[in-house]
Structure 1
Amino acid sequence: MSASITAATPVKPRSGVLLALSGLLLGMFVSMLASTVVSTSLPVIIHDLGGDQTAFTWVVTATLLTTAISTPVWGKLADLFSRKLLIQIAILIFVLATAAAGFSQDTSTLIAFRAVQGIGAGGLAALSQVIMADIISPRERGRYMGLFGAVMAVATVGGPLLGGFITDTWGWRWNFFVALPFAIAALIILQRTLHLPALAKKKAQIDYLGIVLLSTAVSLLLIWVTLAGSSFEWWSAQTIWMVGGAIVSAILFVVVELRAKEPLVPLTLFKNRTFTLAVIASIATGIAMFGASVFLGQYMQLARGATPTEAGLMTIPMIAGLLLSSIGVGALITRFGRWKPFLIVGSVLLIAGAYLLSTIHYDTNFALVSLYMFLLGAGVGMTMQNLVLIVQNTSKPTEIGVASSGVTFFRSLGGTIGVSVMGAALATKVTELVGDAKADLTKAIMSLGEKAPYWADQLQSGSIPKVSAMPQALRVIFEDIYAQGISHSFLIAVPFAIVSLIAILFLPNVPLTRMTTKERIEASEADFATVSVPAGLDVAVEPEASDVVASADEGAERADAPAGASAGR
């Protein structure tokens, strides 16, 4: 009989875990703050830089696109190099690009710097999850993921409020510099407090061709979604080239990944039912999360005439839902070890929130709008981090990096596609509604007397209007137009949320292990070393890695069981 692991490494005291996570939490705060601080200011920024709705969408999409593409790259690097060094590099890239964006003189420059910013954001998103798996077991991770949810909620609440105040007081450019002191503090704290176990040395093999093909496929698809219907017809030569190029690049990517020694996204991960279903569910979560954060700010300013500061205050209900659900559910998962009921409830709330937000108008009672936002936020808080948690729980310990970043990648990809599609739908709907309201607009402009030529030129420029500064006659018309366009965009998220619920219903209800990634690796090595073979055979038997991990986790569960529980077996 082979020996079994009967005890797990002692769990690190909570104070030690919190100290190790302090720099990580601050790094995530920097990332979220730098992203959200400009959310309520974007309509003003795009207006000042002379951009249209397409530019507005691409300022957001550029960051999401490079975040999505770079996330699996960072995840692969995390399995090969020092994770501590990598997350420090990610913070530097993110913050320096954010500061540079503050000097933009046109939307093209702003989009370029936001794209670089996304590379750093991809590292922070992927590496934070991987590092957590290094020092906290899945069973205990729920409590600490609640902390991450709380940090995200504080940054998401404080960011728009701070951004609105800065824009109204000193100008929007200062929004891009506010994260710098926090980033410096995060780097210092990470250096002093984060001590990770050394990785086994490997020869680094980066799948460069896979990176290029993935980037090409995703970029072509998003450029097509954003420009089709406005810059060219949906059925056109440009559509054939872009969609055809995206399909060919995607097929070549799959072929390359199947043959690569160190694939960017190991396709064998999809053999894991939990990973595959979590990926499907994460796409819908990304659409809801990123779509809401982008278009709710626009709704408050363009459909309700709010200033940037007011818009930040008006989105608090959604963040409150995210904050309460992420902290509360994280603590409950740690206490009871059950995760599936919370994910099911969260996906139902996603459907309800997205559908109800698709019914709002410019004069909808704000109490109802607040309730709808709260439901959507609660749904995101219950599903977002916990989908990563359950994937880490069932993945091989040697593939934690790529598995975690894989789920995060598809969530970012879902958000990128969602924002692009919702933005394209909004631009098309607004153009259509402006055409339908041409007679009313002409009448309203003529009623302005000597100011009529000024507002006529403003509307013909094609840039996003500053609704709060419009005369009442024009303001009412544009508030109604943008409310209809934005509510129409939210309807796009509903079918994806339904698919997410179906995927979550079929997720295997695997109990959460109490072992950290390092402990699982050590247990696997110990189990492998004690594998016995039948007498008389000199051939060493090499077990499957998944069997070794399962054996190690079973041993840990036996160690966690009450004394005498195994005696009756």
Structure 2
Amino acid sequence: MSETVSPAGAPPAMNHRQVLEALSGLILGMFVSMLASTVVSSSLPVIIHDLDGDQAAFTWVITATLLTTAISTPIWGKLADLFNRKFLYQLAIVVFVLATAGAGFSQNPEMLITFRAVQGIGAGGLAALSQVIMADILSPRERGKYMGLFGAVMAVATVGGPLLGGVLTDAWSWRWNFYVALPVAIIALILVQKTLRLSPHARRKVSIDYTGIVLLSAAVSLLLIWVSIAGTATGFPWNSWQSYLMVGGAALATVVFIIVELRSKEPLVPLSMFRNRTFTLAVVASISTGIAMFGASVFLSQYMQLARGATPTQAGLMTIPMIGGLLVASVLIGWLVSKYGHWKPYLILGGALLIAGSYLLSTIHYDTDFVLVSLFMFLLGAGVGMTMQNLVLIVQNTCKPSEIGVASSGVTFFRSLGGTVGVAVMGAALAAKVTDLMKEHMPDLVKAIMSLGDKAPYWQAQLASGALPKVSDMPHALSTIIEDIYAQGISHSFLIGVPFAVVSLLAILFLPNVSLTRMTNDERLHAGEADLATVSVEEGMSVLTATGSIGVVDEVDAAAATSGPAGDAPGSSGR
């Protein structure tokens, strides 16, 4: 079996066993990140209920994490091009897990939202750095099957997380959802330290775009706050001076951010990368993937508990079909991409499945046959599995080796940003729809409450509080109405993702079908340095020829050839 030959100066190519050893800590770190994120998904309705939070609090617990993940991802990507990537990855694990543990001590929704925001900073690092480190040690062609392995691990965490969270919540307390990741994180840190060996990169002067960070944070935060509060009973009307102020502020911050990025020496998001057609179209496609991925994980758990009366444990089991689709698609497609080198047909199929899954989930009711709901979830999960990792892969395949960090994190950033805005918009649409339906069904609700006898005041107070209801504890007469209301609201919110999925498929169709290289990022870097050296020598020779100094060089060459090893013909210097 022939070995892969690396360019001169590049580290020797690793075999399969060495790659798996190097990736073991990386994979476990991603598992910790995914587990800590998904373990609360099935129990979040119970958590918000116990902390007396409403639908807006529920949405902000999710969007706070997504927002800081989105904003911090390009920052971590930039740092990856400047500092030791192994240390940065370990730092991201520490930040993520400490914030996760702190969330377990939350006493109110505001405290939980704050810790979740810090958690997102660590999550951004893990998401960005794992892609960058993989690019250092694996070629795009080989990366497909290992990304399939990452997808499998993510799927296990995504399947096991909600189920584990439901069991912990039902058996003990939802607070254990946040503590369970600590021992796994310690093992991940040790594994990363022992198994991950990266080639040192040339150090260069550090310049962080702090102004860009502030402006981007302000623009996205203003937009999300506006979407979450406008049009609600406790907020302000859509057509009001507060709305104009927030939207205008977000627009102004965005314009100034673009100006700053164009002038910055080390921009947070290098706008010059948008000249690369692959990067631009991958970003557009990633936004829709983020909406589908995060929106489904957030609102499907609500659907299971608020529209079908499931407990947290049951909700974790009921979302397995979607994770099954993601698992099968990510592993199978990753293997096919590595084996045959073709990626575009799978991305097109994934985009079509995103449209189908989003639309079909917008048609569900509280009494829809669960076999159909499972099929719809599977289609959406398969669409996410086919598109999510491959969009990063094709960008890494075409970008400059020196920009691998910022390019990878750029796609991840826009995917997280799409998910953040998508979840906020879907949550706002859900809250508005539920409010309207509550008013519409008020006579039925009053009739159901009055039939409860001495328990009527308790349930009347529960509904009047505005907190998320715990449908599994409700009397049947009342739960049926509430399930119908939330089912209509959640299906309405899924419809929002359909046009974005259509745009994603169009972007995928226009992606240039560039073949995947078999060189790792380190090999591409050293190959580029070798090419530069060759060009420099050739330019130098041209200068000597032009100045008449070539005769001296010829004499030196001849002398070297004459005194060379036996068998070398004089003058055969190979020049």
TM-score for both structures, normalised by structure 2: 0.92
Which ranges in structure 1 are unaligned for 5 or more consecutive residues? 541-569
- After TM superposition, the structure 1 = structure 2 runs for residues 43-82 of structure 1, keeping only pairs within 5 Å, are 43-82=45-84
| Gap change, CA 1:440 and 1:512, over 3 Å in 2 | same
Q: Describe the superposition over 1:444-483 as per-residue Cα deviations: whole angstroms up to 9, x where unpaired.
A: 0000011101101111000000001000010000000000
Q: Distance in 1 between matches of 2:287 and 2:109?
A: 28
- Within the candidate set 210, 220, 223, 2:222 is matched to 220
Q: Distance in 2 between matches of 1:349 and 1:471?
A: 38
- Within the candidate set 142, 145, 163, 2:144 is matched to 142
CA offset at residue 237 of structure 1? 1.1
- The alignment covers a number of residue pairs equal to 537
Q: Is 1:457 aligned to residue 441 of structure 2?
A: no
Contact 2:66 2:419 in 1 (8 A): yes
- Supply the AA of the counterpart residue of 2:539: V
Q: Distance in 2 between matches of 1:460 and 1:215?
A: 35
Q: Describe the superposition over 1:506-534 as per-residue Cα deviations: whole angstroms up to 9, x where unpaired.
A: 00000000111110010000001001239
Q: Distance in 1 between matches of 2:345 and 2:472?
A: 44
Contact 2:11 2:522 in 1 (8 A): no
| Gap change, CA 1:495 and 1:539, over 3 Å in 2 | farther
Q: Describe the superposition over 1:81-108 as per-residue Cα deviations: whole angstroms up to 9, x where unpaired.
A: 0000001000000000000000000000
% identical aligned pairs: 74
**Bigger mean CA offset, 527-536 vs 35-44:** 527-536
- Within the candidate set 527, 537, 540, 2:543 is matched to 537
- Within the candidate set 289, 292, 304, 1:288 is matched to 292
CA offset at residue 235 of structure 1? 1.1
Q: Describe the superposition over 1:167-202 as per-residue Cα deviations: whole angstroms up to 9, x where unpaired.
A: 000010111000000000000000000010101011
What is aligned with 2:177?
Answer: 175
| Gap change, CA 1:102 and 1:523, over 3 Å in 2 | same
- Supply the AA of the counterpart residue of 2:114: A
| Gap change, CA 1:534 and 1:91, over 3 Å in 2 | closer
Q: Distance in 2 between matches of 1:91 and 1:509?
A: 36
CA offset at residue 537 of structure 1? 2.7
What is aligned with 1:129?
Answer: 131
CA offset at residue 535 of structure 1? 6.0
| Gap change, CA 1:536 and 1:97, over 3 Å in 2 | closer
Contact 2:10 2:522 in 1 (8 A): no
Contact 2:55 2:427 in 1 (8 A): yes
| Gap change, CA 1:29 and 1:539, over 3 Å in 2 | farther
Which ranges in structure 2 are unaligned for 5 or more consecutive residues? 1-6, 547-575
- Within the candidate set 119, 122, 126, 2:121 is matched to 119
CA offset at residue 536 of structure 1? 4.6
1:222 is paired with a residue whose SS is helix
Q: Is 1:156 aligned to residue 166 of structure 2?
A: no
2:180 is paired with a residue whose SS is coil
- Within the candidate set 83, 89, 92, 1:90 is matched to 92
| Gap change, CA 1:260 and 1:365, over 3 Å in 2 | same
CA offset at residue 12 of structure 1? 1.1
- Supply the AA of the counterpart residue of 1:284: S
What is aligned with 2:554?
Answer: none
What is aligned with 2:452?
Answer: 448
Q: Distance in 2 between matches of 1:283 and 1:440?
A: 40
1:530 is paired with a residue whose SS is helix
Q: Is 1:439 aligned to residue 443 of structure 2?
A: yes
Q: Distance in 2 between matches of 1:340 and 1:501?
A: 11
Q: Distance in 2 between matches of 1:470 and 1:290?
A: 28
- After TM superposition, the structure 1 = structure 2 runs for residues 438-517 of structure 1, keeping only pairs within 5 Å, are 438-517=442-521
Contact 1:40 1:160 in 2 (8 A): yes
What is aligned with 2:312?
Answer: 308
- After TM superposition, the structure 1 = structure 2 runs for residues 268-347 of structure 1, keeping only pairs within 5 Å, are 268-347=272-351
What is aligned with 2:359?
Answer: 355
Contact 1:210 1:257 in 2 (8 A): yes
Q: Which has the larger radius of gyration?
A: 2
Contact 1:8 1:515 in 2 (8 A): no
Q: Is 1:388 aligned to residue 392 of structure 2?
A: yes
| Gap change, CA 1:115 and 1:462, over 3 Å in 2 | same
- Within the candidate set 33, 36, 41, 1:34 is matched to 36
Q: Distance in 2 between matches of 1:188 and 1:537?
A: 54
CA offset at residue 240 of structure 1? 1.2
CA offset at residue 315 of structure 1? 0.2
- After TM superposition, the structure 1 = structure 2 runs for residues 203-218 of structure 1, keeping only pairs within 5 Å, are 203-218=205-220
1:305 is paired with a residue whose SS is coil
CA offset at residue 9 of structure 1? 6.8
- Within the candidate set 421, 429, 450, 2:433 is matched to 429
Q: Distance in 2 between matches of 1:155 and 1:200?
A: 36
| Gap change, CA 1:518 and 1:539, over 3 Å in 2 | farther
1:235 is paired with a residue whose SS is coil
TM-score for both structures, normalised by structure 1: 0.93
What is aligned with 1:561?
Answer: none
Q: Distance in 2 between matches of 1:513 and 1:15?
A: 21
Q: Runs of 4+ in structure 1 displaced over 4 angstroms? A: 5-10
1:399 is paired with a residue whose SS is helix
| Gap change, CA 1:103 and 1:375, over 3 Å in 2 | same
CA offset at residue 6 of structure 1? 10
**Bigger mean CA offset, 234-243 vs 84-93:** 234-243
Q: Is 1:414 aligned to residue 435 of structure 2?
A: no
Q: Distance in 1 between matches of 2:9 and 2:332?
A: 30
Q: Distance in 1 between matches of 2:310 and 2:240?
A: 39
**Bigger mean CA offset, 526-535 vs 142-151:** 526-535
Q: Is 1:267 aligned to residue 236 of structure 2?
A: no
- Supply the AA of the counterpart residue of 1:81: F
Contact 2:10 2:526 in 1 (8 A): no
Contact 2:45 2:468 in 1 (8 A): yes
Q: Distance in 2 between matches of 1:415 and 1:534?
A: 52
What is aligned with 1:378?
Answer: 382
1:359 is paired with a residue whose SS is coil
What is aligned with 2:197?
Answer: 195
Q: Distance in 2 between matches of 1:93 and 1:535?
A: 54
Q: Distance in 2 between matches of 1:204 and 1:11?
A: 30
What is aligned with 1:547?
Answer: none
Contact 1:318 1:374 in 2 (8 A): yes
Q: Distance in 1 between matches of 2:545 and 2:455?
A: 91
Contact 1:343 1:504 in 2 (8 A): yes
CA offset at residue 241 of structure 1? 1.2
What is aligned with 1:549?
Answer: none
2:419 is paired with a residue whose SS is helix
What is aligned with 2:549?
Answer: none
What is aligned with 1:551?
Answer: none
Q: Is 1:398 aligned to residue 391 of structure 2?
A: no
Q: Is 1:367 aligned to residue 375 of structure 2?
A: no
Contact 1:430 1:482 in 2 (8 A): yes
2:447 is paired with a residue whose SS is helix
Q: Distance in 1 between matches of 2:47 and 2:181?
A: 18
